[in-house]
Structure 1
Amino acid sequence: MNLKTLEDLWTAFVEGERDFTGINLAGADLNHWSLARVDFWGADFSGANLTQANFRRANLKQTQFCNAKLAGADLRWADLREAVLTGADLDDARLEGALYNAQTQFPEGFNPGQARMWSLAPGAALATKDLRERDLGGTDLTAADLSGALLVNSQLFGAVLRRSNLLSALVGDSDLRYADLRQATLMLADLRGADLRYSDLSRANLIGTNLRGCQLAHANLDGALYSDSTHFPRGFQVPETMHHIAPGASLWGADLSGARLTGVDLSGANLAGANLMHADLWGACLANADLSGANLLGANLLGTDLTGANLNQTNLMQAIIDMPGDVAGAVAFDSQPA
């Protein structure tokens, strides 16, 4: 795009242009300009006067703001990943919900947490955040808390969401092709219409998940958990390699380590030899279940009903139990002590 003056820029903007990637606006005077939702990826605003400018929801990834005047600017929900803001004046700038990562460079002494910005990084705390229509493709959000988050129509192509918590998240119509969702908790999440082709959902928790209208061709579902309340796309054939979580289920030798199984009903289930290391079984019903030889090392058994369960040779080392009485009604209680 051949833009020689600020007038050219404004004319293009008024005519509907929103792609200004890589544009050089160093030293420009954009005081009070409204540039919401514009794509300025890689642009240069070094030394520019951006006082009270509106960059709400703008794409500012890898943008240069060195020594720019951003006092009073509206940067809410803007994407500032890998942006350079060293020496910038951020006095009274609004940054709530703006995205940043470890590569974002801030002015000395600036605290993004106090500005209520959102970090996109492994282990990030993003519960209930509004991330709809965001480009998060390839982002590493390993073990992030996205419970209740709004991710509708988001770009998550190739995103790393391994072991992330997406409990009750709204992820409908999002692009999750090639996403790494291994051991992710998608319990009660709404993924209607999402594209999950070639995604890795191995050992993911799909209990109560709404997958209606999803594209699942070539998705890896080995060891993924589902229940009678899981809604699959019409005509979908559940692979035998998935684990059905239900009363009386056959889960002999299953690898359920680290699984979130809070409140599930596995009464009478065959869990003999199963790996439940560090599984969260808070409030679950395991009455009359066969847990002989199962590994419950470090599992959360608070409020778990083990009445009549077979705990012969069960490993309960470091398991979290209210009190020994929790297992007093179990049969064959010849297990390793908690």
Structure 2
Amino acid sequence: MNADELNRRYAAGERDFSFVNLRGVNLSEVNLQGAIFWGADLSRANLTAANFKQAHLSSANLAGAMLWRADLTQATLHKANLSRSILIKANLSEVDLSEALLVKADLRLAYLTRTKLTKAKLKGADLRYAEVRLVDISGADLSQTILNGANLSEENLLAN
């Protein structure tokens, strides 16, 4: 599927794009609010400034995707692969990233408020200057994560 077809189908009211192959597609600034991409391949896609509010991306492959300034507010990315993705200035507020792979992901200046990172793998991720508030990191792997300048006060990290 290409970007034009996706946009046409979304505009026609279709919301379920489970298992679709959008590998390397340019979807910058696209509005896909509430769409379902369960198990979809969005690896290396350009999703710069895209609107994925309340989208369902569980088990999706977003490895190496460009999500700079993307809005993922209240999205579900349970078990999604975001390894080596660029999430600079992305809005990840109230996002479910439980059991997600964020290995070496670039989360500089990202917004993580009430984000669920339970059992997520953030090994080597870059969270420099990220805004982190009330984030659940229970069982998360934060080894080798870069946290310089991130707002990580004790009351903002919830680990049960």
Return the TM-score normalized by structure 2: 0.78
Task: Give the CA deviation at 1:115.
Answer: 3.5
State the percentage of identical aligned residues: 25
Structure 2 match to 1:182: 88
- Say if 2:75 is the partner of 1:169: yes
Question: Contact between 1:196 and 1:217, CA under 8 Å: does it hold in 2?
Answer: yes
- Say if 2:152 is the partner of 1:231: no
Question: Contact between 1:179 and 1:200, CA under 8 Å: does it hold in 2?
Answer: yes
- Say if 2:114 is the partner of 1:208: yes
| 1:53-73 superposed Cα distances (whole Å, 9 cap, x missing partner) | xxxxxxxxxxxxxxxxxxxxx
Say which SS state the counterpart of residue 212 (structure 1) adopts: coil
- Say if 2:147 is the partner of 1:242: no
| 1:234-267 superposed Cα distances (whole Å, 9 cap, x missing partner) | 37478342124899xxxxxxxxxxxxxxxxxxxx
Structure 2 match to 1:94: none
Question: Contact between 2:129 and 2:148, CA under 8 Å: does it hold in 1?
Answer: no
| 1:196-222 superposed Cα distances (whole Å, 9 cap, x missing partner) | 001100010011100011111111110
Please report the RMSD computed on the Cα atoms of aligned residues, expressed in angstroms: 2.9
Structure 1 match to 2:105: 199
- Say if 2:6 is the partner of 1:99: yes
- 1-side partners of 2:110 and 2:11: how far apart? 34
Question: Contact between 1:126 and 1:144, CA under 8 Å: does it hold in 2?
Answer: yes
Say which SS state the counterpart of residue 29 (structure 2) adopts: coil
Question: Contact between 1:172 and 1:190, CA under 8 Å: does it hold in 2?
Answer: yes
Return the TM-score normalized by structure 1: 0.39
Could you say which structure has the larger radius of gyration? Answer: 1
Question: Contact between 1:99 and 1:117, CA under 8 Å: does it hold in 2?
Answer: no
Gaps of 5+ in 2: 16-24, 156-160
Higher RCO (CA-CA < 8 Å; seq separation 6+): 2
1:121–1:82 Cα change, 3 Å: closer
